[in-house]
Amino acid sequence: MSSQYLVGIDIGGTNVDALLVWCSEENEVEQVAFHTSPIRSLDGKRPIDIVIEVVDELLIMGQIENSADLGGIGVGVPGLVDPKTGKVSLAVNLDEDSMMLGPLLEARFGCPVLVENDANAVALGAYRFLVDQSIEHLAFVTLGTGVGSGLILHGKVFHGAQNMAGEIGHMFIKENDVRCSCGANGCLETFVAGPAIKRMGEKVCASGRETSLKNYSEMSAAAVFTEADKNDPAAVEIVNEVGIILARALQGLIMSFDLQKIVIGGGISRAGNTLLNPVLNEWKRMRNDSVMAAEMLQPRKLMICPATYRAGAWGAVAVALSQSDLIQAKLVAQIN
């Protein structure tokens, strides 16, 4: 691959993050500039216009006068994405039912654009930038307001038949009294996502049980993990319950796809070992009960995404790199 500039765009629910990188012929990537902006403005601009403004500013920061000089742009965005066409359906962060995002950005910037679902993008970024090069099968599990995952199998994004692979947040766990955002009951999301943990904290406080969680004027998942770290019994029980359920869901991923690594990211992952230890404890129990689990559920297979790593933006850069690889392969095929 020839040396070139690439842009990665992460379109989140709150901000648009964009990275400009320089990629050498040896496939070494160096950050040149980073720019971020709220996805919505008070003056009524469309989110897509803000995305374009962010990229324009990024190019100015990188002293790139002509966007057509870019080798490519990668985009990570929530929604149902067709990477072949660049179409995004259910594009809630762009305030659109659907949008031909890839062709729109290609027309504006004059370079190849590849669009991926945000979960797939961060998984590809983890494969490219976070884990050992020997790893070819991994999942990036995002824990935040919801729960999602992207899958990398044989070094490539696994999309599934309908581009819906990795929707573990909506796998059934057990019946409960909480309706998931998807409309179903008993989804993983309703047990381990941020709102679920907040709800459990509020329930404990309302029960009359003595707990330091009552010191918070507004409950949050972060508060629960903070107090669990201080050994508040009620908070510890909540975190242990979350850890057990999450451990079983991750065990399902390992057993289904024989993964070498699972990276846990998203806002909940900032709890670090306070989140990870209950998961590992449950995996230890599983290993003691099963020869197969003893082989498959090794602690080294789990890692928390580093807090300083911009998973969405670097994931989008990885998408741009995969676009560049495709272009290079086509050129080589034409030459031969």
CATH number at residue 31: 3.30.420.40
In this structure, the answer to whether residues 218 and 283 fall within a common structural domain is yes
* pTM of the predicted model as reported, rounded to 2 decimal places: 0.92
pLDDT at 326: 55
Mean pLDDT value across residues 202-226: 96
Query: What mean pLDDT comes out for the span 134-159?
Result: 96
Alpha helices, DSSP H, located in the chain: 47-61, 101-109, 118-129, 189-192, 194-206, 221-229, 233-257, 273-289, 291-296, 311-335
Question: What's the whole-number mean pLDDT along residues 88-98?
Answer: 91
Is 196 contained in some domain? yes
Most confident residue range from 3-12, 22-31, 37-46: 3-12
Residue 128 lies in a domain: no
Distance of CA 64 to the CA centre of its chain: 29
Residue 24 lies in a domain: yes
Answer whether residue 276 shows pLDDT above 60: yes
Question: Contact at 8 Å (CB) between 224 and 213?
Answer: yes
Q: Are residues 138 and 274 in the same domain?
A: yes
Helix ranges (H only) for 26-93 are 47-61
Residues 274, 324, single domain; the answer is: no
Domains in the chain, number: 2
Record the tokens describing residue 8, joined without a space: 């990665």
Structural domain includes residue 317:
yes
3-state secondary structure at position 80? strand
Specify whether 260 is located in the same domain as 200: yes
* 326 occurs within a structural domain: yes
Could you tell me if 31 and 151 lie in one domain? no
Average pLDDT for residues 1-11, to the nearest whole number? 89
Q: Give percent of the chain with pLDDT exceeding 70.
A: 96
For residue 240, is it within any domain? yes
Residues 143 and 216 in one domain: yes
* Position 334 confidence tier, pLDDT thresholds 50, 70, 90: very low
91 and 142 co-located in one domain:
no
Region 207-214: what's the mean pLDDT? 96
Residue span of the structural domain in which 32 resides: 4-123+310-335
At residue 181 the predicted structure's pLDDT band, cuts being 50, 70 and 90, is confident
Joined together, the tokens standing for residue 95 give: 């305030």
- The verdict on residue 274 lying in a domain is yes
Supply the pLDDT for residue 26: 83
Same domain membership, residue 278 and residue 181: yes
In a domain, 262, yes or no: yes
Q: Do 253 and 213 fall within a single domain?
A: yes
